[in-house]
C-alpha cells in the first residue's frame, strides 16, 4: 500500500442518522484493502487523514478538488518515518498546498526553511485537537472562533465570542494580556497551539 497524508472535508449534517464523515470514504476501495485513519476538526468539519491505498484510489482522491494532498506519495508504510523528515519547503507545489491549507483555516505563516513535514502535520493535528477539546466541553463560541477567517481581527469578532475565548484561555492557564482589538484570529490560534499543553499525538503508528 502507498501512503499519503491529506486534508479532506467531511460530509453529512451531524445528526444521528447522517453523522459527519470524511468524503474519503467514497474515494477509497476497502474491498482491495484501502484504509485511512483521521483526526477531525469539529469546528470546520475537516480531517487530517493518512490514507493507505493502491494507486487507483490515490488517483481518485487527487481527482477531487476538495481534497488537499499534504505530503508526497510514500511508496510504502515503511517509508513514512523517513518521508516525514522531508524539509517542507522542498516539497513540489508546497506554495499551492500552503495556500489551500490557509483557505481551510490552517495557519502556515509560522513555517521557516528548517521545518519538516512532520512539524507541519503535528501543527495540523494540534489545531484539530484544540477544536476537539472545545467541542468536548460544549464550547460553541470557541469553535466559532476557530472557524473564523484567520485574518479577522478581534474587533471584527462578535463580543460573545471574544468573551468566550478570553474566559476559555484563562481557564486553560493561557495569558491574554497581549491580545488587543488589532490581534488576528491567526495570532490567537497560533498562541494556543504553541502554548496549550497537548502531548504527543499518534497517527498510523507515527508519533507527532
Q: Name the CA dihedral angle for 125, 126, 127, 129, rounded to a multiple of 10 degrees.
A: 90
Q: What is the pLDDT of residue 199?
A: 86
Residue 23 has pLDDT above 90, yes or no: yes
Average pLDDT value for the chain: 94
CB atoms within 10 A of CB 94: 16
Q: What is the pLDDT of residues 144-200, one digit of tens each?
A: 999 999 999 999 999 999 999 999 999 999 999 989 999 999 999 999 999 998 888
Average pLDDT of the segment spanning 87-101: 93
Amino acid at each position: 500500500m502507498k501512503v499519503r497524508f491529506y486534508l479532506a472535508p467531511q460530509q453529512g449534517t451531524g445528526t444521528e442518522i447522517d453523522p459527519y464523515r470524511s468524503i474519503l470514504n467514497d474515494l477509497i476501495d476497502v474491498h482491495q484493502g484501502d484504509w485511512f485513519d483521521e483526526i477531525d476538526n469539529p469546528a470546520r468539519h475537516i480531517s487530517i487523514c493518512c490514507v493507505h491505498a493502491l494507486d487507483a484510489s490515490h488517483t481518485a482522491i487527487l481527482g477531487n478538488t476538495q481534497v488537499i494532498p499534504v505530503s508526497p506519495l510514500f511508496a510504502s508504510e515503511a517509508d513514512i518515518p523517513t518521508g516525514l523528515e522531508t524539509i517542507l519547503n522542498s516539497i513540489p507545489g508546497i506554495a499551492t498546498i500552503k495556500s489551500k491549507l490557509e483557505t481551510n483555516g490552517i495557519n502556515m505563516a509560522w513555517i521557516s526553511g528548517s521545518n519538516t513535514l512532520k512539524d507541519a502535520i503535528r501543527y495540523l493535528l494540534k489545531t484539530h485537537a484544540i477544536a476537539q477539546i472545545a467541542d468536548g466541553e460544549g464550547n460553541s463560541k470557541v469553535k466559532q472562533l476557530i472557524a473564523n477567517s484567520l485574518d479577522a481581527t478581534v474587533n471584527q469578532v462578535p463580543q460573545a465570542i471574544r468573551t468566550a475565548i478570553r474566559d476559555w484561555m484563562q481557564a486553560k492557564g493561557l495569558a491574554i494580556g497581549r491580545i488587543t482589538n488589532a490581534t488576528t484570529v491567526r495570532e490567537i490560534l497560533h498562541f494556543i497551539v504553541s502554548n496549550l499543553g497537548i502531548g504527543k499525538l499518534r497517527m498510523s503508528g507515527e508519533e507527532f
